[in-house]
Structure 1
Amino acid sequence: MVSFQTEQLRTLLAVLDHGTFDAAATSLHVTASAVSQRIKAMEQAAGQVLLQRTTPVAVTPAGAVVHKLARQLRQLEADAAAELGSTGAGQYAVTVVVNADSLATWFMDALALVPAGSPMTFELLREDEQHSVNLLRSGAVMAAVTATAEPVQGCSATPLGAMAYRAVASPRFMGRWFPQGFNKELFKAAPAIQFDRGDTLQSNFFSTVTGARLTGAQHYIPDTLQFGEAVKLGFGWGLMPVAHCVPDLASGELVELVPGHISSIPLYWQRWKIQSPALDSLTAAVTQAAAAALG
């Protein structure tokens, strides 16, 4: 059984947090040689290289496993210090990965439900819901809003509900590309707006409607609010969260391509499966906010 000393795990965290052995040594108030020796001892115990000696230092696949262990230990220590009322407990960061549309619609309401006076601070990473589990798997984050129902090893998964979208465009865009009304054949030439190159919402909708693959002109605008603005300005058509587009549909500033068609993406909350009051508190807040926003 591979075993690491707490001091070694803290050293590995310091190296990855600060990017170099020298910077880690400064933060730990030891020499760079001591840092190097601790990491070498860990690699000998693991029988594998844990860190790539690049600038900044990066983890190997084996190192990612140990990095996750080290971060979980740090979280448990922080929880224990908070429960004991330690004067040195202070604030500690909880890292979460969230998809852009959740971040722009309901996730901040979840953070607002975390009890006042909590020692938690939050570091939010933005990633598409189809890919967010990769950060959870690597140990880079403690929890994720994801479209993946299957729990990552060492994590639990809780259904949150479904994010609902409508395919919309501006009246000017519709008049230009569909002068006689929406038409599947004309749709193949109409430009689309994508969030980024990992976005599959528009492609999936297009395939559902036409039975073909989206290959026409595409704009890439990686910001939820500016994505919506681009649609309103007539750059192209796109799928917008219902919460964002309903007022503009009511006012006539936007028009549905296929009236009444809802595209839904089920979302899940995955988190480390450790007994952590901080993660328990955040989980309760996220599930409460999601129940109100996603149904």
Structure 2
Amino acid sequence: MLDYPLLAALAAVIRTGSFEHAALELHVTPSAVSQRIKQLEDRLGTVLIIRAQPCTPTAAGARLLRHVEDVGLLEHKLRADLAGIVPADKAPTLRLAINADSLATWFIEVIAACDGLLFDLVLDDEDYSADWLRRGEVIAAVTAQPGPVQGCNSTALGSQRYIATASPAYMERWFPDGVTADAMALAPALTFNMKDGLQSRWAQAAFGKRLTLPAHSLPSPQAFLAAALAGIGWGMNPKALVADHIAKGRLVPLLPDRPWDVALYWQSSRIVASAVGQLNQAVLKASKRWLITGP
């Protein structure tokens, strides 16, 4: 039988990143938190916390955190179902993996619709966000992977449409004779980070061959868009973020007839399916408004 006060200490350390902050959250001393973590590790025979700045979980620690959060969600649902019989408790925290462009365009609407829930969002590329589910570190993810992760349900949300865009001044400087493969091999692109292959995939589809693109790395949707507006580079921006800029002439599509659609899926743990109905409904409603569905 797992000792939930010990698990609560583990969850607090992982959430806050330190024994000191966990102690403040639990209203105990850092020494007491340390003793609880050590006791739990001794019982299970494995290290659960990597003592660093910040503290991070081992694979076993992350799985236990997922269990604690699952139990918290189910208890929250039980309290709601038995309102007036079981006293209310503090709002549970949902840890989700999501790509930055979804957060920048439509997912805030989801959070706003989920009153009474707290969110801890992990940002990762849509091609990698499902890995957080596989490791048991989140209860749900927005991902480009259609096949369900073991123990999860997968629902198609629609496609995020991207447009390759740059400023008029950038187009005049780097593509004076039109957007060609040779010109693109010299023109600075924008990428989110090393995982971001969107620009390369679009260029390969447009020109029928793989291109090596010189690129700035800007891990922020806002900075990414600002860099395009400033003429620093061209990049694949969500249509929802650039439609107004294109309409007003601040940005220009590189190839107007070549948008790029990325299909997104919502994968969530079956264990807590009954407890996250509000979240699932909010995700489906927001994605229907913002994403492209159908042929």
Range class of TM-score, shorter chain: 0.7 to 0.9
Change in Cα spacing, 1:154 to 1:39, as seen in structure 2 (3 Å) is farther
Instruction: Note the C-alpha offset of 1:269.
Output: 0.9
What's the TM-score once normalised by structure 2's chain length?
A: 0.85
Verify: 1:239 aligned to 2:236, yes or no. yes
Which runs of 5 or more structure 2 residues have no equivalent in the other structure? none
In 2, the alpha carbon distance for the partners of 1:252 and 1:291 equals 28
| Aligned residue number for residue 77 of structure 2 | 79
Residue 272, structure 1, aligned to residue 236, structure 2: no
1:209 aligns with 2:206: yes
The Cα shift of 1:200 comes to 1.2
Q: Report the more deviating stretch, 184-193 or 172-181.
A: 172-181
Structure-2 separation of matches of 1:238 and 1:134: 26
Cα separation, partners in 2 of 1:206 and 1:45, compared to 1, 3 Å? same
8 Å CA contact retained: 1:149, 1:268 = yes
Q: 1:34 offset after TM fit, Å?
A: 6.0
The one-letter code of the counterpart of 2:112 is A
Alignment length (residue pairs)? 290
Query: Displacement, 1:55?
Result: 4.6
Q: Which amino acid aligns with 1:289?
A: A
1:22–1:131 Cα change, 3 Å: same
What is the CA deviation profile of residues 100-148 of structure 1, one whole-angstrom value per residue up to 9, with x for unaligned ones?
211122212233334xxx4212333332212222333344432221112
Answer yes or no: is the 8 Å Cα contact 1:68–1:138 preserved in 2.
no
Aligned match for 1:4, one of 2, 5, 21? 2
Tell me which residue corresponds to 1:110.
110
Please give the alpha-carbon distance, in whole angstroms, between the structure 1 residues aligned to 2:113 and 2:24: 37
- SS of 1:144's equivalent in the other structure is strand
Distance 2:43 2:29 in 1: 22
**1:174 and 2:171 are equivalent in the alignment:** yes
Task: Find the counterpart in structure 2 of residue 293 from structure 1.
Answer: 290
Provide the secondary structure at the position in 2 that maps to 1:162: strand
Query: Structure 1: which 5+ runs fail to align?
Result: none
CA distance in 1, matches of 2:257, 2:269: 38
- Tell me the equivalent position of 2:120: 123
Aligned-residue CA RMSD (Å): 2.7
State the AA in 1 paired with 2:229. K
Alignment partners' CA distance in 2, 1:255 and 1:209: 17
Q: 2:94: which partner in 1?
A: 94
Report the alpha carbon displacement of residue 8 of structure 1 after superposing the two structures with TM: 3.2
Please report the TM-score for the alignment, with normalisation by the length of structure 1: 0.85
Secondary structure, aligned partner of 1:151 = coil
Q: 1:263 to 1:84 in 2, by over 3 A?
A: same
Please say if residues 75 and 276 of structure 1, whose CA atoms lie closer than 8 Å, have aligned partners that are also in contact.
no
SS at match of 2:132: helix
Determine the C-alpha separation between the residues in 1 that align with 2:121 and 2:200. 27
Question: Does residue 15 of the first structure (1) align with residue 18 of the second (2)?
Answer: no
Match of 1:257 in 2: 254
| Percent of aligned pairs with the same amino acid | 40
CA distance in 1, matches of 2:27, 2:244: 56
Measured in 2, the distance between the counterparts of 1:238 and 1:54 equals 36
Query: In 2, are the aligned partners of 1:145 and 1:268 still within 8 Å (CA)?
Result: yes
Q: Pick which of 282-291 and 236-245 moved more.
A: 236-245
Matched AA of 1:186: A
Q: Indicate if the aligned counterparts of 2:184 and 2:213 stay in contact, CA closer than 8 A.
A: no
Is this contact kept in 1: 2:200–2:213, CA < 8 A?
Answer: no
| In structure 2, distance between residues paired with 1:109 and 1:228 | 21
- Counterpart for residue 55 of structure 2: 57
Residue 139 to residue 176, structure 1, CA distance change in 2 (3 Å): same
